[in-house]
Each structure stands twice: as C-alpha cells, then as structure tokens.
A and B are shown apart, each in its own frame.
Chain A
Amino acid sequence: MKIEADRAKCDGLGMCEAMAPDFFEVGADGTVVVLDESPGEEHREDLAAAVDACPVLALKLLERT
C-alpha cells in the first residue's frame, strides 16, 4: 500500500491527521506532510478512514503492484 497526497489540492484541513496521526500531519506550510508513505497492511482501516475524511479528496491509497 502506498499513500498518495495531492499537495496542490490539499487545503490543510487536517482530517487525515485526525484519523491517522501516525501517518499524516499538517505541516509548517499549512498542507499535509505524509510521515510514512508506505505503511503496513495492518493500518489499512485507519488510512481508509483518513482518505474518506478528506474534505477536498486529496488523498489516495495505491495498491503496490
């Protein structure tokens, strides 16, 4: 699994940080910082919640091929 964050879309609203604080943080420039871009499978539920919670739909979970 890989996290893809569209930083141009990101509005820094922080819901990803709320859902999965180990993987996302609002950074100094007011947009998302991905703390670990290739998380383990055991985090899927939290990460899916973070993707769903993004009000500007800036996050995707990509399956590794």
Chain B
Amino acid sequence: MTLVVVGASLAGLRAVESARRTGYRGRIVLVGAEEHLPYDRPPLSKAFLGADGPTAVEPLRTEAELRDDLGVELMLGSAATALDATAREVSVAGAAVGYDALVIATGTTARRFPGTEGISGVHTLRTAEDAAAVRAGLDAGGRTVVVGAGFIGSEVASAARGRGLPVAIVETEKVPLSRSVGAHAGTVCADLHRAAGTELRLGTAVSGFETGGGAVTGVRLDTGEVLPADLVVTGIGVGPATGWLEGSGVHLHERDRGVVCDSTLYAGAPGVYAAGDVAHVPNPGFDQELMRLEHWTSAAEQGAAAARHALDPAAARPLSPVPYFWSDWYGHRVQFVGTPRADEVVVAVPAEAGFTALYRRDDRIVGALTVDRPRDIMKYRRRIAGRAPWQDALAFAAASREVAA
C-alpha cells in the first residue's frame, strides 16, 4: 500500500501526519515543487515583513521528524507533471510513482501581472523566496506600490507603513474586498488604510510599468498618471496549480481549473482526494455552496481528512466547515467567519467600537466580520455552525457592543 501526497505545504503535511495517526503503516511519499520542507505561509505577509521580524522561514517539521518519526519519503524540489488515474501513477521528475491512495494538495500559484517578467523590483507574494524579496525591498526603504487591495496586498501596505515608508494601493474595484466581504465591510477596510496613511487609488487600473536599467521606477495608471515606485507587489489573485492534472480525468473547474470534489473531498478518480487551496468542495453547512477556500484552517482540516478518506474510502464523511480567516493591518485585526454570500449585510457594531458586520441568509446568520473584536468572532462562528437564528446573532452583537472592544 502506498499513499502519495502531492503538495508539501500545510495540507500535505497534515495529510501525512493524519495518515500515521490513524495507524497506517504503509509507504508514504510526499512530493513538493518547492525545495523547502513544509512551512507556514501566513507569517510571510505579516511578521516576516516587519523590520524586526524573523529573517528565516522555519519549517513546520524538521527533515528528521518527517523521514524518521513519520516515515515519509520526501521528493522535494520536484513538481508532479502528470497523473495517470487508470494506471494509478504520478509522474515526478521523469519517474512514475505508483499509488493506491492519492492526496492532491498542490495549492495555488500567484498570478503575475502580464508583462512584469524580468522587471526587477516587481514581486508576487506566495513563497518564502517571494517574501524574502519583498522584505529586501522594504529594507531598502523605497516607495512601495501595491497592485490589488486584497488581503495579501493590504498586509504588505501595512508592513510598509509600519516602517514609516510611503505606500499606495491601486485597485480596479471602487470598494476594496467587496467580493470577499461585501461593500459595507470593504468600506471599513478602506478606512483602515486611509487612517494609516496609505494612499488608495480605487476604481483605477494599472496600464504598465516604468523601468530604468531593468528595475521598476514607476507604475503607470489608466489615468495616465505614474506613481513612482522602487518596490511593486502585485496581489491580483491566484490560480490552482493543476496543470499536471489536465487530461487526467480528475474534474477541473471550468473557471479556474481547481479540483472539483464532493463533500468528502473525493476528486472523482479511484483513491484520489484533494485538500486545501486547490479544492472546490460543496459545503453542506451552507446549502451545498461550492467553496474553494484559501485559508489556513481549511487546509489543515481538509489535509487531515483527505488522507483518512483516501486510505479508507468506506469511512469517508462529508466535511461541513465554517470558513475562517484573519488578516492583520496596521495593528488592527480583521477576522471573518462563514460566507459573505448573503441576502443582507447589517452593520451590528459601528467602526468606532471595533467594527462588526453580520451576514444573513434566509432566517439564519451565515457570516460575521469583525475588526478588533477577537473575543467575539468565535461566538459568531458557533452560531453559524449551529444554524442559529438571525435574531439571536443580532442580540449577541447588541450585548457585546456594550463591552469595550
């Protein structure tokens, strides 16, 4: 019996750990495109970018722990290039690795802004190398322009301001994050940027880059204006890393080519399950809404479940997670639980008291966003998981408002 896990980040690591925890004693092969042992990504856009932050990325487990304690064969620095779901083989670095059970956890890759290849000073932020490059740019103390007002870009802006550097964010939408958290909450997020001295260019597109000697010197906007820049970080989204699965029979989503699973993470080919950022999974807790979550907690939970289910499909059970993510901006903590797809969004606590927005679908609470109310967020999560009535969530918000944030 061989379990192959393709993808050596959090979901892949949790897959091999859970396989051993369930008592599986067969062969495990962990395949990773990056050279690194599995490491934690959330700090890359947070503490790692700070002037006094850690300078090295620590692996989540040492090589000895993986090889000796967990008995994992490591194939790092070599991406899987193809899957043959009939022969049950994964192609890795020209070799065929056979499997009985397979976990797909290849995650996503950051989308590059077209035409930026080869311009120094322009970076995405996904890997440890990306983070080191962005950090070096911040260390050099230049003018920073962030393209895309998503969570990663916002954290980069926060790091720049934390060092006292000038920073601008360019975003095509009129309200940042409106697709992730809705317009109300997006407006509050925009205010956090402005209050910290970050310049926001909303409803504005980037038309190109100015360079000198191969390095970026400015970002050209569709208004014709040029923002001077020594460091540019593009946070314009990611795409599932599934090129190796094209033509394999595993069902890929027509929009973004993510792996389409059922609610047990089964990917449609015998023995094949998927986990983490790569996987579209219908969520029974939210009317079977198909969710592809790029969150730490879902990568951890799905990774562990995918290995259990791949090893023992008869015991596979639907997962019904409540999505959760957090982001740290300028010393403020933004937290979100549930889904923003709602019939109505209500501002339950105004921004002066640490903001709370609640999201209603039918007669239940399905989502909550808070800013600087860390004691409240899991109380909402519990209500969302328990399909609590909307009035109950509103009553809790009203009561919590009386308590200092």
Contact = CB atoms under 8 A, between A and B. Distances in A.
Contact of A52 (B300, B322, B335, B382): B300
A28 B297 contact: no
Contacts of A14: 335, 374, 377-378, 381
Interface string A13-52: 1110110010001111010000000000000000000001
B382 A21 contact: yes
What is the predominant secondary structure among interface residues of chain A facing chain B? Answer: loop
A53 B382 contact: no
What is the predominant secondary structure among interface residues of chain B facing chain A? Answer: helix
B336 to A, nearest CB: 12
A1 B256 CA distance: 46
Contacts of B382: 18, 21
A13 B333 CA distance: 10
A39 B180 CA distance: 38
B39 interface: no
A10 to B, nearest CB: 11
Nearest to A24: B378
A53 to B, nearest CB: 6
B304 interface: yes
Contact of A53 (B300, B326, B333, B374): B300
For B14, B377, B378, the residue with the greatest tally of chain A CB atoms inside 10 Å of its CB is B378
Contacts of A55: 42, 296-297, 300
A18 B381 contact: yes
Contact of B324 (A18, A26, A28, A30): A18
Interface residues on B, range: 10 to 19
B255 interface: no
Contacts of B335: 13-14
Interface string B289-319: 0000000110011001000000000000000
A53 B321 CA distance: 12
B322 to A, nearest CB: 8
A44 to B, nearest CB: 13
For B14, B297, B300, the residue with the greatest tally of chain A CB atoms inside 10 Å of its CB is B297
A17 B42 CA distance: 20
Nearest to B295: A55
Given A28-B375, A30-B374, A55-B42, A13 B326 contact: yes
B297 A26 contact: no
Interface of B: 14, 42, 60, 296-297, 300-301, 304, 322, 324, 326, 333, 335, 374-375, 377-378, 381-382
15 contacts: A12-B333, A12-B374, A14-B378, A15-B378, A21-B382, A26-B374, A26-B377, A26-B378, A27-B375, A30-B374, A52-B14, A52-B304, A53-B300, A55-B296, A55-B300
